[in-house]
Amino acid sequence: MSFRIRKAIPEDAQGITDVVSEVARERIHSAITDGWPTKKQREFILGQTAREAVFVAIGDDGQVIGCQFLDLYSAILPSMSHVAAIGTFVRPQFRGSGLGKQLWRATKAYAVVNGYTKAAIQVRGSNIAAQGYYKSLGFQECGRMKGQVIIDGAPDDEVLLEMFF
């Protein structure tokens, strides 16, 4: 499998929506239960600040096969402007092939250049695979919110992980 990583452009909105929606439909990985409509995803990309980005992995056929979001942890608190919030989504058939690791390489480089000194992430307590992924990148667990999400009637915790650059 080959892929290339680049910063998303508004024209990637459909591909990003497809990937996030597919992960949301799986129900077991993310607190997100529905992907955004393409129009909203496009507006989101256009509305990102100069310090925010989505990185996309483009497969051989030119389609988005994975993406990683880098957003300000808080859009309103200057005291947290050094903290990036991260979210990662890879299509099922492309997992475990190093794509997530390569997305992080691009995202982290962008974060450092744009003045972030820390990243933070919330992962569902049952999502052991994603916790393993983030820990492999150097994130450390720093807390847990119990029963923070309820999906299809089932409560799940949210595990907090952080990394200082």
Ligand X SMILES: CC(C)(COP(=O)(O)OP(=O)(O)OC[C@H]1O[C@@H](n2cnc3c(N)ncnc32)[C@H](O)[C@@H]1OP(=O)(O)O)[C@@H](O)C(=O)NCCC(=O)NCCS
Interacting residue ranges for ligand X, rule: CB under 6 A: 23, 29-30, 87-90, 95-101, 123, 127, 129-130, 132-133, 136
Q: How far is the CB of 78 from ligand X (least distance, A)?
A: 25
**84-109 in b/e burial notation, b at 16+ Cβ within 10 A?**
bbbbbbbbeebeeeebbebbbebbbe
Q: How far is the CB of 17 from ligand X (least distance, A)?
A: 15
Q: Which is nearer to ligand X, 97 or 114 (CB)?
A: 97
Q: How far is the CB of 147 from ligand X (least distance, A)?
A: 18
Q: Which is nearer to ligand X, 39 or 93 (CB)?
A: 93
What residues pair up with 118 in beta bridges, in sequence order? 83, 164
Q: How many residues does the chain have?
A: 165
| CB atoms closer than 10 angstroms to residue 59 | 18
Residue 164 tokens, joined? 């200082």
Q: Which is nearer to ligand X, 37 or 96 (CB)?
A: 96
